[in-house]
Chain A
Amino acid sequence: MKTRGVSIAACLTVTTLLVASCSGGGDGDDGPVTLEFQSLSDQPAAIEATEKIVGEWNDAHPDVQVEIVPTGWDGVYDKLITQFNGGAAPDIIHYEAASIVPFARDGYLADLSEHMSDERRADIPEGVLDSVTVDDQVVAYPTELQSYMVFANKKLLQDAGVDIPTGETMTWDELREIAKATTKGETYGLGWGLSSPTATFMTMAPGFGGEFFTGSGADAQITVGEGEMALPELVDQMAYEDESILPVTLTQSGSESIASFYAGQTAMTVQGSYQAANIAKDAPKDMDWVVLPPLEGPAGSGQAANPQTLSVNIDSEHVEESAAFIEFFTEAENLAALNEADALIPATTSAQELMRKNLGDENGWDTILASGQHFSSAPYLFVDAYAQWKDTVATPAYQRYLAQEIDADELADQLTSGWDEITS
């Protein structure tokens, strides 16, 4: 009985592998082509915007019909990895650069370089395009972006005698000074949700010249020097020397730390730009708030781009049609409508301009959209073991540092030696 069980299993194993490798032949019917579009849009307005765009496409292209497959962000990575390995991935895949690049490196995504129009290529800021370019192949169209912005409570700033900065950008020193000035009594200058610090530090490191990685793929090397350490050290100084950061927010997520901002416990808060829409909706009615200019470090105001993306499955039978649909999807009007619904920053300059025209400077949109031109591509996107390093080395080490369990030297050492151990 036992041996038979094993042999049945073995037979099954072999047959499955055979069938799996043989399946996937063309179905060769002449009817209209149907493309599966796995969409992650989650806001009701964004779902509507997506449906509208797809509806327009379907009306104009009776022979290439696009079918939306709505999927949640939660668990989509696990779903995709199974779909790709099981040969059942959809044609068009909505995701984000940091998570889709590994799939491209493993050969699952079609090269869209040839399908992307020159117009579109010129319209996407260079840093953003770089973030979806793997080994000189464009593996995705970027669609939506977010940047980290500082939101401020006007009244608390004015009470502290601080002039609200209005320039093109604002330096980190200015932020530190304002935070110090507004810290008094029960009020702290800044609330910053850093419970998952790695993403924030990676995103904002370019402003300090921090790169973290050189090379790509399996050969990437880590450097943790001045540029990489500058921001954590600044946070540490603000939190423990100046005591101008509300300590509890350092252990909260961005959206958790926003409650202290609403309650007037913090005069400013660092948040993803999309929070502008939530603040407009959720803040107490009598609160007067403003978006401060983009932060600028010694190396500029750049933030690492991690755009949402649209890619095409390399095994799709209709790569060309899928690319044409994405090309249509990323036209200025469509991107502007989608980003407005999601409160995000469009990945093309023309859509940013259109959105600025539509929204004016309501809720700080002017300032937020302006940050859309300062994105740069970050090396971490193209590093093989990044996800593992982030979860098992970097995040614990940063948390220990922010809780003052270790000092800056130990942090730098843990970040580097952890990387060495993982990649050895």
Chain B
Amino acid sequence: MRTVARPLVRPAQYVALACYIVFLGFPLLWLISASVKSSGELNSLTVSLLPSEWHWQNYSDALARQGLVRSAANSAVVALTSTALVILIAMPAAYVLARLKGAFRVAGVGWILVSQVFPVILIILPLFLILRTMNLTDSLVGLTLVHTTYTLPFALWMLQGYVAGIPTELEEAGSMDGASRLSVLRRIVFPLLAPGIVATAMFSFVSSWNEFFFALVLLQSPENYTLPITLTSFIGGEGKVALGPLAAGSFLAAIPSIVFFSIMQKKLTGGLMAGAVKG
């Protein structure tokens, strides 16, 4: 677009992008490769991307593993619900955090930082007791609330950053029209925040989808297990890892995330912005 003047820039950009993609994507490629190799081949010294013999049995082994599908469904419910909750309650609060200065802001920001630094292992016991009094241990509702709570600081922190990036003149223009604050928020601020909201939503989905420690400690019944918990059942004692089935299961588990990303990334574009400013 604006780089027409320099003919070499485009190819250089493509090369750079390709390097990034190789770096970021190669482990997945290797995972897929491992998922179609037999354990004999995985334990050999030959390095090859393609298997000498396609070993699809890893996939049937992975799917035969108790509850892989059910735990994927559990993960999806928990991740989607907590993402929706996070966005819903974080947006207004982030706005306040960004726009109102002073002691409250300092306290809010300070809290966010402290809550992220303090080791989770020291929080887990009190948290477990609190959830137990509310009868929310071994429950997906409890896990959803925990995931929501522990993603909130990040969501608030990021969203307030994006709010701070929105020129206040836009809002003021809205208020001059005599619109109420809430309607200014709804009509002007939130649409402008769209890319930030999408980024935050993706983060909160992923962190819930991949979250291991809270799920491990809080869930007890196998029918409540989430995906990461079920996947670790391929890792046995004494370092025995059923590598092939684990790779197959992980690849299957990665597909929903990738689909989710493909849908969400479309919303990460400037198109929304333009519309919002006009509206």
Judged by CB atoms under 8 Å, the answer to whether A and B touch is yes
Q: Which residues of A contact B (CB under 8 A)?
A: 1-2, 12-13, 15-17, 19-20, 23, 40, 42-44, 47, 69-70, 72-75, 78-79, 82-83, 85-88, 90, 96, 146, 253-255, 258-260, 262-263, 265, 272, 274, 278, 281-284, 308
In the complex, which residue of chain B has the Cβ closest to the Cβ of A258?
A: B43
Contacts of B234 in A (CB 8 A): 42
In the complex, which residue of chain A has the Cβ closest to the Cβ of B107?
A: A2
Known: A82-B125, A85-B125, A86-B125. A42 touches B240 (CB 8 A): yes
User: A73 near B236 (CB under 8 angstroms)?
Assistant: yes
A392 and B137 alpha carbons, distance in the complex (Å)? 33
Q: How far is the CB of A77 from chain B (nearest CB, A)?
A: 10
Main SS at interface, chain B: helix
Known: A86-B132, A282-B43. A255 touches B107 (CB 8 A): no
A22 and B75 alpha carbons, distance in the complex (Å)? 33
User: B39 near A278 (CB under 8 angstroms)?
Assistant: yes
Known: A78-B217, A255-B239, A263-B45. A72 touches B233 (CB 8 A): yes
User: A254 near B44 (CB under 8 angstroms)?
Assistant: no
Known: A12-B130, A86-B129. A75 touches B213 (CB 8 A): yes
List the 10 shortest-distance A-B pairs measured between CB atoms, nearest first: A42-B236, A74-B232, A72-B232, A282-B40, A86-B128, A263-B45, A19-B133, A73-B237, A72-B233, A82-B217
User: A274 near B132 (CB under 8 angstroms)?
Assistant: no
Contacts of A259 in B (CB 8 A): 43-45
User: A260 near B217 (CB under 8 angstroms)?
Assistant: no
User: B236 near A78 (CB under 8 angstroms)?
Assistant: no
Partner of B241, one of A20, A255, A283: A255
User: B39 near A82 (CB under 8 angstroms)?
Assistant: no
Q: Scan B123-167; emit 1 where CB is below 8 A from any A CB, else 0.
A: 011101110110001000000000000000000000000000000
Contacts of A265 in B (CB 8 A): 45
Q: How far is the CB of A93 from chain B (nearest CB, A)?
A: 13
Contacts of B128 in A (CB 8 A): 82, 85-86, 88
In the complex, which residue of chain A has the Cβ closest to the Cβ of B61?
A: A44
Contacts of B61 in A (CB 8 A): 44
Contacts of B65 in A (CB 8 A): 44
In the complex, which residue of chain A has the Cβ closest to the Cβ of B133?
A: A19
Q: How far is the CB of A24 from chain B (nearest CB, A)?
A: 10
In the complex, which residue of chain A has the Cβ closest to the Cβ of B46?
A: A263
Number of CB contacts from chain A to chain B under 8 A: 112
A254 and B45 alpha carbons, distance in the complex (Å)? 15
A274 and B237 alpha carbons, distance in the complex (Å)? 11
Known: A13-B126, A17-B129, A78-B216. A40 touches B237 (CB 8 A): yes
| Given contact pairs A72-B235, A75-B232, a sample of 12 additional A-B residue pairs in the complex whose CB atoms are under 8 Å apart | A16-B130, A17-B129, A20-B132, A72-B232, A72-B233, A86-B125, A87-B132, A88-B220, A146-B238, A254-B239, A263-B44, A278-B43
Q: How far is the CB of B236 from chain A (nearest CB, A)?
A: 4
Q: Scan B236-258; emit 1 where CB is below 8 A from any A CB, else 0.
A: 11111110000000000000000
User: A79 near B130 (CB under 8 angstroms)?
Assistant: no
Q: Scan B198-221; emit 1 where CB is below 8 A from any A CB, else 0.
A: 000000000000001100110011
Q: Is B116 an interface residue (CB 8 A)?
A: no
Q: How far is the CB of A386 from chain B (nearest CB, A)?
A: 18
A96 and B65 alpha carbons, distance in the complex (Å)? 24
Q: How far is the CB of B257 from chain A (nearest CB, A)?
A: 21
Q: How far is the CB of B101 from chain A (nearest CB, A)?
A: 16
A16 and B152 alpha carbons, distance in the complex (Å)? 23
User: A88 near B39 (CB under 8 angstroms)?
Assistant: no
For this complex, 5 residue pairs linking A to B, each with C-beta atoms less than 8 Å apart, are: A12-B130, A44-B61, A47-B66, A73-B237, A282-B43
Name which of A1, A40, A78 has the most chain B CB atoms within 10 A of its CB. Answer: A78
Q: How far is the CB of B90 from chain A (nearest CB, A)?
A: 18
A88 and B139 alpha carbons, distance in the complex (Å)? 14
Q: Is B222 an interface residue (CB 8 A)?
A: yes
Q: Is B229 an interface residue (CB 8 A)?
A: yes
Q: Scan B50-92; emit 1 where CB is below 8 A from any A CB, else 0.
A: 0000000000010011100000000000000000000000000
Q: How far is the CB of A415 from chain B (nearest CB, A)?
A: 24
Q: How far is the CB of B269 from chain A (nearest CB, A)?
A: 39
User: B126 near A75 (CB under 8 angstroms)?
Assistant: no
A272 and B44 alpha carbons, distance in the complex (Å)? 19
User: B133 near A20 (CB under 8 angstroms)?
Assistant: yes
A235 and B224 alpha carbons, distance in the complex (Å)? 47
A262 and B241 alpha carbons, distance in the complex (Å)? 18
A306 and B132 alpha carbons, distance in the complex (Å)? 34
Q: How far is the CB of A403 from chain B (nearest CB, A)?
A: 21
User: A15 near B133 (CB under 8 angstroms)?
Assistant: yes
A308 and B236 alpha carbons, distance in the complex (Å)? 13
Name which of B65, B233, B235, B238 has the most chain A CB atoms within 10 A of its CB. Answer: B238
Name which of A72, A88, A263, A278 has the most chain B CB atoms within 10 A of its CB. Answer: A72
Name which of A15, A43, A86, A265 has the most chain B CB atoms within 10 A of its CB. Answer: A86
In the complex, which residue of chain A has the Cβ closest to the Cβ of B243?
A: A255
Which B residues, 105 to 124, have Cβ-Cβ distances below 8 Å to chain A? 107, 121, 124
Known: A75-B212, A88-B132. A16 touches B221 (CB 8 A): no
Contacts of B237 in A (CB 8 A): 40, 42, 73, 96, 308
User: B212 near A255 (CB under 8 angstroms)?
Assistant: no
A226 and B77 alpha carbons, distance in the complex (Å)? 59
A274 and B65 alpha carbons, distance in the complex (Å)? 22
A2 and B238 alpha carbons, distance in the complex (Å)? 49
A83 and B221 alpha carbons, distance in the complex (Å)? 13
Name which of A70, A74, A278 has the most chain B CB atoms within 10 A of its CB. Answer: A74
User: A253 near B239 (CB under 8 angstroms)?
Assistant: yes
Partner of A69, one of B212, B221, B239: B221
Q: How far is the CB of A106 from chain B (nearest CB, A)?
A: 14
In the complex, which residue of chain B has the Cβ closest to the Cβ of A196?
A: B239
Contacts of B232 in A (CB 8 A): 72-75
User: B233 near A70 (CB under 8 angstroms)?
Assistant: yes
Q: How far is the CB of A73 from chain B (nearest CB, A)?
A: 4
User: B124 near A82 (CB under 8 angstroms)?
Assistant: yes
A272 and B61 alpha carbons, distance in the complex (Å)? 25
A197 and B278 alpha carbons, distance in the complex (Å)? 66
Q: How far is the CB of B65 from chain A (nearest CB, A)?
A: 8
A258 and B238 alpha carbons, distance in the complex (Å)? 14
Name which of A1, A253, A282 has the most chain B CB atoms within 10 A of its CB. Answer: A282
User: B222 near A70 (CB under 8 angstroms)?
Assistant: yes
Contacts of B133 in A (CB 8 A): 15-16, 19-20, 23
